[in-house]
Amino acid sequence: MVQRLIVAGNWKMHGDRAMVDAYARELAACVEGSDHAGVGVWLFPPAPYLLSLANALAEAGAKEVSVGVQNVHEAASGAFTGEMSAAMAADCGAQLVLVGHSERRTLFGESDELVAAKARAVIDAGLTPVICVGESLDERRGGEAMARVRAQLEPVLASLAAGEVERSVIAYEPVWAIGTGETATPEIAQEMHAGISEHLLARKISARPPILYGGSVKASNAEQLFAQPDIDGALVGGASLAVTDFAGIIAAAQLKQNRA
Ligand code: PGA
């Protein structure tokens, strides 16, 4: 069962074994005893560290923190050198998979259709996909932000049943806000999240999945973002690499949880 409020950390291609152990111990100390029940804390390390991070978190007493991978191949197995399947990620402790992150789309040429095929594969392996969508700066300036996000969602909605979409997570990450230090204002993010919700409702997704905001989320802006009614947490890149920053974002989600 996916929590309603989620703070997810995407390490991208950062970290090493020493970081994994220290991070797990520090995070366990931060979340232990802090009343964070109801807020999902998810981590996406580079795949080679998945199992050791899962083990280190369990040893440190942070069993409730879930781990996942940043990408999978859409096939279950085969001659695809350098790739891994969702089932393999599950076998190594993953519960979650990022799908269609903007870096995968722009740097590795992943199309909307490929992203949908990956979401399908993740569901088939019994894992939860975090399906990332978001417009570029040109698309925003051209007034096409919502149309672009809808176009990204369309193949996903065609390949997943309504119940499967309801069990997934969506991350709205405007490309112009990722790694740039420029966060969408809470109003812009809320407008987009509400637009995504409406689109899902129109497509008969009645229990809408959590919609996370991503793009330069920090401890200092998380509370304002989470105050918006349709923002159900954050997908955090840079600020997830230091436990104190990440813990500050978890604390902001906890505030929202306590007010609910
Ligand atoms: P950022 O990355 O927080 O460093 O902007 C977000 C993401 O890419 O998911």
Report pLDDT for 260: 80
Report pLDDT for 35: 56
Residues of the chain with pLDDT under 70: 1-2, 33-37
Does the beta carbon of 257 sit less than 6 angstroms from any atom of ligand 1? no
Q: Just list the catalytic residues.
A: 101, 173
Report pLDDT for 33: 62
Nearest atom in ligand 1 to 215's CA:
5
Whole-number Å distance between alpha carbons of 32 and 249: 15
Sequence-distant (≥ 6) Cβ neighbours of residue 67 within 8 angstroms: 42, 43, 44, 45, 50, 53, 54, 57, 93, 94, 95, 96
Report pLDDT for 23: 98
Distance 149 CA to ligand 1 centre (A): 17
Q: Which residue has the tokens 């490309």?
A: 175
Report pLDDT for 31: 82
Q: Which of 196, 203, 238 is nearest to 221 (CA)?
A: 238
Sign of the CA dihedral running 107, 110, 116, 118: negative
Over residues 159-187, the pLDDT tens digits come to 999 999 999 999 999 999 988 888 889 99
Sequence-distant (≥ 6) Cβ neighbours of residue 188 within 8 angstroms: 174
Report pLDDT for 1: 53
One-letter amino acid of 211: I
Over residues 96-131, the pLDDT tens digits come to 999 999 999 999 999 999 999 999 999 999 999 999
